[in-house]
Amino acid sequence: MKKTLLNKLLTKYIITLFSVMGVIFTSAGQCPIVVAPIQTFCDVETPTIANLSATNNGGGVIWYADATSTTPLSNSIGLVNGEDYYADDASGTCGSRQRVDVTIYGPPIVLGYQGVCVDDVSEATISDLFANGNDVRWYTTSTGGTALAGTTILSDNTYYYADQSNPFTGCRTSRISVEVLVGVALMPTGSPLQVFCSDTQYTVADLVASGDNEWYLTNTSPNALDPSTPLVDGQSYFATTLDPPCKSAARLEVTVVFEEPNNAGSNGEIEICQLGVTGSGSINLFEALLGTPVTTGTWSGPVPISNGNTGTVNMTSLTEANSPYVFTYRVSSKACAPSTSTVTVFVIKGSNPGMDGTLALCSNSTEQDLFDSLKGDPEPGGIWSPALASGTGVFNPDLDLAGEYTYTVQGVPPCGDATAKITVIVNPEAQPGTNSTLTLCENSAPINLFDNLGGNPDSGGSWTPALNGGANIFDPSKDLAGKYIYTVKGIAPCGDASAEVTVVIAPVPNAGSDGRLAICSNEAPQNLFVSLGVADGGGTWSPQLVSGTGFFDPTKDAAGSYTYSVTTDCGTDSANVIVSIIPQPNITGLTLSANSICLDEAVDINLSGATQLANGNYSLNYSLSGANTLEQTVAVTITDGSTTIILPASQLTTSGTTTFTILNLLNPVTNCGTASGILPMVQFSVEDAQTPQLVTGGASFCENDDPTLANLTSNLIGGFIITWYDALENGTAYGGDTLLVDGTTYYASNTTTNNCGIAIRLAVTVNIELCEPLKIVIPDGFSPNGDNINDTFFIKNLRELYPNFKLQIYNRYGNVLYKGDNTRNDWDGTSNQGRKIGNGILPVGVYYYILEFHDGDTKTIQGSVYLNR
């Protein structure tokens, strides 16, 4: 029996004995005595401070975290492996405290995956498993149950659990799981001679043996062959069986032999005439095969075949109706794919050109295939004579002459040629001429439409619709404008043909009637055409306008008379438009002014400085934008270039900056305004002091900051000028440097820069607290298992309070595993120091840290932390 442990790199851990410093006990009065300075437990006991042992001499036993701590440890606090604790009496005045070092035993050290290779499953037992610990025992469950005997047979792909005992107390620890695989690998079985076809590149992957295999070149080769390695004819190969993690010791030998591929030759054909099969005779199919077929094949086909591979067929059994006959020759063997080829026998009948026919065409007909005019059932592939211009059987009336054309089908020997004829007749097409357009005036004389057709039309045709002037005569006074169609009858098979004359009747020109246009000097360009009434478009203006069209621009064109003329083939007509330019109101020097107001007040908009503007009544169109929006038109009276507009509070309902803009100042007499000029505007503020708001937590302060009302003001938002009072209404105002008093209510009043105040004050009751400084919090354990919960050794407030800190992590042998500072991530349970094994992930256990603060004041601290996965 052969057993193999896969884990060759198991390292025996040496249990390091900690040197225990002698403790000088000082007993005074009723101070407790520590009899056992080293006290041990098992992790399943979950030991606490209450489990520590010391002799009570009457003064009680109290435990502390260090020799000078003034904070007693609660009996419910869990003990930490590797940590030390100090005993004192209830008074805490024993002086030098006695120390106890605590060791908590966990499960033994194991490999999480172990495999055993055997020749028989009954040979793998519990004694083959490895664990480093004291009195290690194995179980089939994580808790409970009975320990397994060393002779217990292992089950494949099963988890087993191990614990150990405390060598001092005998208690047993928690259990750790191990995945166990039992591998049985016997020599594979298979054919010792494996045959392949030489026409394919076979590889080691094509070899066949039982189970999962690796192949070797010899019986002792250490290295397995790549499955893609090509096979060699006559070469022997050796296979092992794989049952991970095991491999069979004995190997199966397989010899490879290549065979030549089968060859049935290439396809062939035999042609015989229908007349020839009526006599006696036979054909040999093998003689018709091409290439180099072997003679070991067999024939199959639709009629009986004799004479073995020769393939003899009696011709008297073959007919043209059932032709062709396909016979298959097949050569096969065990290793190579079958090879087949065919011989096709064709029985040829006599040729058939069809029967004579006639084809009537029009000179404008499309090309026609003469074959379609043959009667009967003609065979395709014949030859036409005389030859057609197309080079085929297609007749083109534009290129080929009318007459007789002979179709000849060549016979397949021994059958002769056969012919048939087609007589072709070509008739001329009707000629209606070509389309044209005729333009007449309303007063034109009657005209002959036939003379206006293009080309060379045939006479004797008819017009649609019929003409009132009779025959071909169009009379503008009787016939309507439109399309008139001239149709000439065709000779079969030629169809009727038509052409059309489009008659357009043009009216006499109309330039409209004389008109007038009064336009403001700043008005947009106006189309003079509108002043003509109903007029034809497309005319010209004289004198020419700057726009080059009919648009009059008062800033570019002069006032006066403008003539519009329309000229057509039917004459010329003209009309005049007299244009006058009215000046716009002159607001040169106009300025606007307004004062800021409080919400719910009206505002005066003062207009002044428009000394060029004539006194009188005007229509003023204005807009409000910004905080308030509005557009409105009001009547104003201008005197000496000035006036005042009062905007009511109802138009100013929102606080903020509002812009007043004059959109247009219109003279109601001339109807001319200033809309196209620069728009005068003025801005003013509508102020509204809101009750200020206190930020969240803004009423709480630290006593040692000596907070004042100025600090409270800084916690307000939405304020302008803040004044604090001692009452909600009236009352006495405070100064900004007044110290805040805990529990006192202060009242804030908000006033804008224009003295707009609020009706309701903000009441704030302050809270003065004694604020504690931040402290670091060091956890006693963490679990880097990737669940994003407690995955790192995170020391709360460390980076904020001590940015220059240095942290080192040690194992129980004193080896440095991790170094960290403010530039590194928190420790995640992996090693970044010394030699790392694998990915550097550290096992479950207790580790020790030294934390240096480097702030020039705080002392270095040491401790332990439990890493649990």
**Looking at residue 23, what is its pLDDT?**
33
Q: Is 407 exposed, middle or buried (0-12, 13-18, 19+ CB in 10 A)?
A: buried
Q: Is 772 exposed, middle or buried (0-12, 13-18, 19+ CB in 10 A)?
A: exposed
Q: Return d(Cα 550, Cα 562) in angstroms, integer.
A: 10
Q: Is 340 exposed, middle or buried (0-12, 13-18, 19+ CB in 10 A)?
A: middle
Q: Return d(Cα 547, Cα 38) in angstroms, integer.
A: 113
Within a 10 A sphere around the Cβ of 864, how many other Cβ atoms? 18
Using an 8 Å Cβ cutoff, are 446 and 472 in contact? no
- CA distances from residue 118 to 220, 383, 395, 436, 495 in whole angstroms, order as listed: 20, 88, 93, 109, 102
Residue 33 has pLDDT above 90, yes or no: yes
Q: Return d(Cα 486, Cα 472) in angstroms, integer.
A: 10
User: Which residue, chain included where needed, has tokens 């010329």?
Assistant: 572
Identify residue 791 by its one-letter amino acid code.
Answer: D
DSSP-assigned states of every residue in 46-86: --BGGG---B--SS--EEESSSS--SPPPTTSBP-TT-EEE
DSSP type of residue 224: P
Using an 8 Å Cβ cutoff, are 679 and 663 in contact? yes
The dihedral sign for the CA sequence 826, 832, 833, 839: positive
| Mean per-residue pLDDT, 805-816 | 92
Residue 189 in tokens: 């079985």
714: left (phi over 0), alpha (psi -120 to 50) or beta: alpha
Percent of the chain with pLDDT over 70: 94
Q: pLDDT digit string (tens) for 265-288?
A: 999 998 887 654 544 578 899 999
Q: Which contiguous run of DSSP H or E holds residue 328?
A: strand 325-331
Q: Return d(Cα 63, Cα 75) in angstroms, integer.
A: 8
Residue 636 has pLDDT above 80, yes or no: yes
Residue 314 in tokens: 């009696």
End-to-end CA distance of the chain: 38
User: Which residue, chain included where needed, has tokens 């091409």?
Assistant: 290
Give the β-pairing of 193-197 and 681-687. Answer: unpaired
54, 60, 66, 72: CA torsion to nearest 10: 130
Q: pLDDT digit string (tens) for 570-579?
A: 888 898 989 8
Residue 489 has pLDDT above 80, yes or no: yes
275: left (phi over 0), alpha (psi -120 to 50) or beta: alpha
Q: pLDDT digit string (tens) for 155-212?
A: 989 999 999 999 999 999 999 999 998 888 889 999 999 999 988 999 999 999 998 9
Residue 642 in tokens: 């000035």
Identify the band that residue 677 occupies on the pLDDT scale cut at 50, 70 and 90: low
Q: pLDDT digit string (tens) for 529-570?
A: 888 889 888 889 989 988 899 899 888 988 889 999 998 888
**Looking at residue 117, what is its pLDDT?**
82
Q: pLDDT digit string (tens) for 768-802?
A: 887 777 788 899 999 999 888 899 999 998 998 99
Q: Return d(Cα 745, Cα 608) in angstroms, integer.
A: 53
495: left (phi over 0), alpha (psi -120 to 50) or beta: beta
pTM: 0.31
Give the β-pairing of 394-395 and 368-369. Answer: antiparallel
Q: pLDDT digit string (tens) for 230-266?
A: 999 999 999 998 887 788 889 999 999 998 899 999 9
Identify the band that residue 623 occupies on the pLDDT scale cut at 50, 70 and 90: very high
Q: Is 827 exposed, middle or buried (0-12, 13-18, 19+ CB in 10 A)?
A: buried
